[in-house]
Chains A and B, each alone.
Chain A
Amino acid sequence: MNRTIDWNEIFQLLLNATGETLYMVLLAGLFTLLIGLPLGVLLFVSRRRGLYPMPRLNSGLSALVNLGRSLPFVVMLIALIPLTRLIVGTTLGSTAAVVPITIGAFPFFARIVENAMDDVDKGRIEAILSMGGDIRHVIFKVLLPEALPALLAGITLTLVMLIGFSSMAGVIGGGGLGDLAIRYGYQRFNNQVMVATVIVLVILVQGVQSLGDRLVRSLAHRR
């Protein structure tokens, strides 16, 4: 069963799988940002003592976010199969995997955004209000720019989590490095491919993390 395959073939397999993983992570990351960022801001401003209190909406959204975060990702991956088919038309392949990955990640990212906003000094918000600023000014002149380092750190954290999610998408045939590990490492006991997959994943995570850290530092430096 355990046949060795030549390195050329492994390289080709890894290249394809890495490409699929990056495709899933970047696309799901983009959607996570597009949904999670406004949702996080909304969660923050709609708080009971927030800038624009909407307690009912807030508790509704909050419950939804908690629901999204309480399911283990593998369970969500399978539970969302009908929804994925509805949106993408198929449940196989990397594009289909983007749906559950995004849905698994955006509630987490929304909470990160909400917490980052909460850490912005309330006095700075008050200053903008005292100048006659409205909620739009507060969001775009204070909350987002002042929280930018925290937001970037949160995006880094989310991307690393997305790499993990995308690997699990291999379970339902999503492609990518996780899929490779399942097909070769688990089903065929091919240690070469397994080790190579682990190495690539570690490099990916380290790369994302150090890039994120560097960005955050360069911003924090002049502030």
Chain B
Amino acid sequence: MISVEQLSKNYGEGQAPVLDQVSLSIPDGAIYGIVGRSGAGKSTLLRCLNLLERPSSGRVVIDGQDLTLLSDQALRQQRQRIGMIFQGFNLLHSRNVFDNIAVPLEIAGLPKAARQARVRELLDLVGLGDKAEAFPSQLSGGQKQRVGIARALAARPAYLLSDEATSALDPETTASILELLRDINRQLGLTIVLITHELDVVKSICDHAAVLDQGRLLKSGPLERLPAERDSSLGRSLLSSYNLPFKSAVPALKLAKVVDFLKQRGVRAEPS
């Protein structure tokens, strides 16, 4: 279990805090979504969970251990139990797919034979068995994220942090990556914490959620899964506190079509 207690992050005197007294608890086995507008502090909150960013005050307790009190060495040990995937994938371009997935295993000090067996397993798990020799530049976005997921899972972590992992992907690819995350959550019992600005992501796979606004936690807790129960108070607050343009907006018109439309009605552009 991850529990975040009274977490605050300030970058300087006189500046508004990026995180303001945030407390939440993430139960084991959950898919926990943290939503909010850009600048709400989601990314900072996620980075505090593995201490890539150090909070100014407060505690991050994972399985009973307060990460903020650990030595560098012990913190690195803990981080091996917390995988992370990224919006920009962050694969190493100097290594092929196979060697990218092997990085956490090299860090963990696994012998070569064990590394190779584990990487093979992971390639199959994410469906990239035939891409082992490919370099990241030769992959599509969805394939890169699959490599990212395989890499994050390599050291058999108990937790997976997802930093806008689908935000750079098209809708179909997003759906397939979300499906993969859900499978992993079910099959491996992995706890997933994801941040996103896309409400649809939360609705499609999360069983818990928290809404963050200007560094403050507005609401958090379990989500109702059924459409009929979407009107639970958290569901409503998600919708109301997070006005997503694509829920109600008309699809964008192509400029050329607008111009045609206006021409047909005798509207002429002023000669410039």
Contacts and interface: CB of A to CB of B under 8 A. Distances in A.
Interface residues of B, number: 30
B80 A132 contact: yes
B107 interface: yes
Contact of A123 (B72, B88, B104): B88
A130 B80 CA distance: 8
B79 A123 contact: no
B107 A126 contact: no
A131 B90 CA distance: 12
Given A132-B108, A137-B107, A124 B80 contact: no
A146 interface: yes
Contacts of B30: none
Tell me whether chain A's interface is mostly helix, strand or loop, or mixed: helix
Contacts of B94: 145-146, 148, 223
A127 interface: yes
Contact of A223 (B84, B93, B161): B93
Interface of B: 50, 52, 72, 76-80, 82-84, 86, 88, 90-95, 103-104, 106-108, 135-137, 151, 155, 161
A121 B107 contact: no
Nearest to A131: B104
Nearest to B136: A223
B79 A134 contact: no
24 contacts: A121-B88, A121-B90, A123-B86, A126-B52, A126-B90, A127-B86, A127-B91, A128-B103, A128-B107, A129-B52, A130-B50, A130-B79, A131-B151, A131-B155, A132-B79, A132-B80, A132-B104, A132-B108, A133-B76, A133-B103, A137-B106, A137-B107, A223-B94, A223-B136
